[in-house]
């Protein structure tokens, strides 16, 4: 994907549950953004390979749990002074959300090959703060959406065969209804498929890369016009 995109890609390391429960991963993602800001503020002392980057055109991206991280890191970073870094967009591929009340797509996933319901529940038990249920804001942002939501333009990608598809649709609806800043949401939900399909199907992977390229290009154009 890094080779397919018109971008420099930084992949962060972060603390893992259950030894480090949420929000540890979100905090590490924010630290990565602040590291990029430090590179932009003092290029001479930074990483040479970043000197060709445009820090005014930055995106946060994640897939599955990484998309959950990108969303929560986005909420945190938009409240910070990031200059000369400018966050232009979020790219959320099959974002991983949950909730106490089962959705129809979750109820149908007991025998799902990639994400069976029992594994889904177990991962939330291991990742959420102790004592929290799946309606915690880290898992289910739809229950109590942060107000106002001040995020840049968002791309949300999913597919019908993903047990999390109902959560993802509800998340898109929340963004569209609650974002008083008017940031656009570009949502695409494919027929069929399954969770993390791009890791198994090269054709779907290439199609995803193409959609991300288009989103990056259009978001950069919009950001340039707005400035």
Any idea which residues carry the catalytic annotation? 64, 162, 195
Taking alpha carbons only, the member of 83, 85, 10, 88 closest to residue 49 is: 10
Separation between Cα atoms, residue 40 and residue 56, nearest integer Å: 9
Say if CB 127 and CB 18 are below 8 A apart.
Answer: yes
**H/E segment holding residue 70:** helix 65-77
3-state secondary structure of 88: strand
User: CB pairs under 8 A, 24+ apart, for 140-146?
Assistant: 140/97, 140/98, 140/99, 140/100, 140/167, 141/71, 141/97, 141/171, 141/174, 142/97, 142/99, 142/167, 142/170, 142/171, 142/174, 143/99, 145/174, 145/178, 146/75
**Integer Cα distance of 31 and 14 in angstroms:** 10
Between the alpha carbon of residue 197 and those of residues 90, 191, 192, the distances in Å are 20, 12, 10
């Amino acid at each position: 994907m890094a080779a397919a995109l018109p971008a420099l890609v930084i992949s962060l390391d972060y603390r893992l549950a259950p030894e480090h429960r949420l929000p540890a991963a979100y905090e590490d993602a924010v630290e990565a953004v602040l590291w990029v800001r430090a590179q932009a503020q003092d290029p001479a002392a930074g990483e040479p390979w970043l000197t060709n980057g445009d820090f005014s055109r930055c995106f946060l991206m994640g897939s599955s749990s990484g998309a959950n991280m990108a969303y929560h890191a986005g909420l945190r970073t938009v409240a910070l002074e990031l200059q000369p870094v400018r966050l232009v967009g979020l790219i959320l591929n099959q974002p991983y959300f949950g909730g106490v009340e089962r959705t129809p797509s979750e109820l149908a996933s007991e025998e799902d090959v990639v994400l069976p319901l029992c594994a889904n529940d177990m991962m939330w038990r291991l990742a959420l703060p102790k004592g929290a249920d799946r309606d915690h804001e880290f898992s289910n942002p739809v229950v109590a959406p942060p107000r106002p939501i001040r995020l840049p333009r968002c791309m949300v990608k999913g597919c019908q065969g993903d047990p999390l598809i109902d959560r993802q649709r509800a998340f898109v609806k929340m963004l569209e209804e609650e974002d008083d800043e008017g940031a656009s949401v570009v949502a695409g939900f494919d027929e069929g498929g399954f969770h993390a399909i791009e890791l198994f199907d090269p054709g779907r992977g290439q199609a995803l890369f193409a959609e991300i390229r288009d989103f990056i290009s259009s978001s950069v154009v919009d950001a340039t016009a707005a400035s």
